[in-house]
Amino acid sequence: MRSRILSWLEAQVPASRVQHVLGVEQMAIALAHVHNLDPQRAALAALLHDLAKYFKPQTLLSIADEAGLPLDPVDEANPHLLHADVGAIVAQREFGVTDADVLAAIANHTLGRPGMSALSCVVFLADTLEPGRGNTDELRHLRTVSQQNLTQAVWMTCDYTFKHLLDAGHLIHPRALQTRNWFLQADSGRWRSPAAEAYRPAT
């Protein structure tokens, strides 16, 4: 399956994006080992996470509409944000993936989701923190936190991303804000029993 996915990616995305995917794969595997998760499932979700990254805006909107995905006005203003949710649909259609947690990790890798599973957290973090993203003090600190506490690392990584979006004058998706708030509250101990979120395959 891995070679098939990589062959598909090499035909669909630039070489630099393939290198990013490989970086996410390696970091997801490492985090899975640290947090006692299945590294094979983490690797699979990581390899598949950017399948729809270079789909045209109208293609993303069309697939999302066909699948009945709820659209926020921010999605309509920036359809690129749909590439994660659409990627999960492509993973089903192109590669026959049926593992709900793997599909959720693909769908959640950009905006996150309140109460998302540990596997989703791992892929969400690996996407932003893989070595190819840079080696600033802030990134190194976030990588250290991700090894220690997934819940804390998620909200801190959201804050890191928000700073860049605000500086650039970009919109922030409400789901990303909900993710940040949920994990901040969970980290503070207010929510002690995180709900395992499952992706519902498109029909």
- Cβ partners under 8 Å of residue 59, min gap 6: none
Evaluate whether residue 200 is within a structural domain: no
Evaluate whether residue 56 is within a structural domain: yes
Evaluate whether residue 65 is within a structural domain: yes
* CATH number of the CATH domain containing 28: 1.10.3210.10
* Domain of 156, in residue numbers: 2-187
Question: 44-88: per-residue pLDDT in tens?
Answer: 999 999 999 999 999 999 999 999 999 999 999 999 999 999 999
Evaluate whether residue 122 is within a structural domain: yes
Count up the domains in the chain and report the number: 1
Instruction: Share the mean pLDDT of the chain.
Output: 93
Question: 106-126: per-residue pLDDT in tens?
Answer: 999 999 999 999 999 999 999
What does the alpha-carbon distance between residue 195 and residue 183 come to, in Å, rounded to a whole number? 11
86 contacts 103 by C-beta, under 8 angstroms: no
For residue 16, how many other CB atoms are within 10 A of its CB?
9
Evaluate whether residue 203 is within a structural domain: no
Prediction pTM value: 0.91
